[in-house]
Amino acid sequence: MPFVHWLPKNKLRKIYILLWLLLSKGPRWKELRGKSKWEQAHAYYEYTIFKTYYRTPRKITDVFVRHGFKVDFIPLADFGLEKHPLLARLAGLRLLRPPLDWGMCNFGQVGLLITKNDY
């Protein structure tokens, strides 16, 4: 459900979730099988309100660095990019790689490597 976390935590978000469910898009949790689309939307909405909190890569890095750790985000190519031929080609272009990495860090999935700094 793209950009759901950008919406205000109100009825607009719940309706947006419901629209995606009506299009048969969204997670399929076992515990919601047999429930109406409205009941599923309510459960997903509650999940976004009470069980998710999105932090920027910069904030994540700052917390670990303050406590003596080094943080590296695993680049796109190391995270299954070969499954997406167009993205793989775009990532090979040096000028496009930084914005693609930024997009994956902020909107997609990345690996996070955390190591203890040696003093």
Question: Domain span at residue 101?
Answer: 57-116
Same domain for 62 and 36: no
- On whether both 82 and 40 belong to a single domain, the answer is no
Mean pLDDT of 64-93: 78
- Please tell me whether residues 68 and 92 are part of one structural domain: yes
| 83 and 98 assigned to the same domain | yes
11 and 31 both lie in a single domain? yes
DSSP annotation of 13: H
Note the pLDDT of residue 79. Answer: 62
Q: Say if CB 37 and CB 22 are below 8 A apart.
A: yes
58, two tokens: 């910069």
The structure's pTM equals: 0.58
> Phi/psi zone of residue 24: left (φ > 0), alpha (ψ -120 to 50 degrees), beta?
left
Q: At what angle do helices 37-50 and 11-22 cross, to 10 degrees?
A: 130
In the numeric block, which tokens belong to residue 77? 């190519």
Q: What is the pLDDT of residues 5-21, one digit of tens each?
A: 889 999 999 999 999 99
Kindly state whether residues 103 and 62 are assigned to the same domain: yes
Verify that 61 and 112 share a domain, yes or no: yes
pLDDT tens, residue by residue, 17-30:
999 999 988 888 89
**Domain check: are 69 and 21 in the same one?**
no
Could you tell me which residues come within 8 angstroms of residue 68 by beta carbon, excluding any fewer than 6 positions away?
116, 117, 119
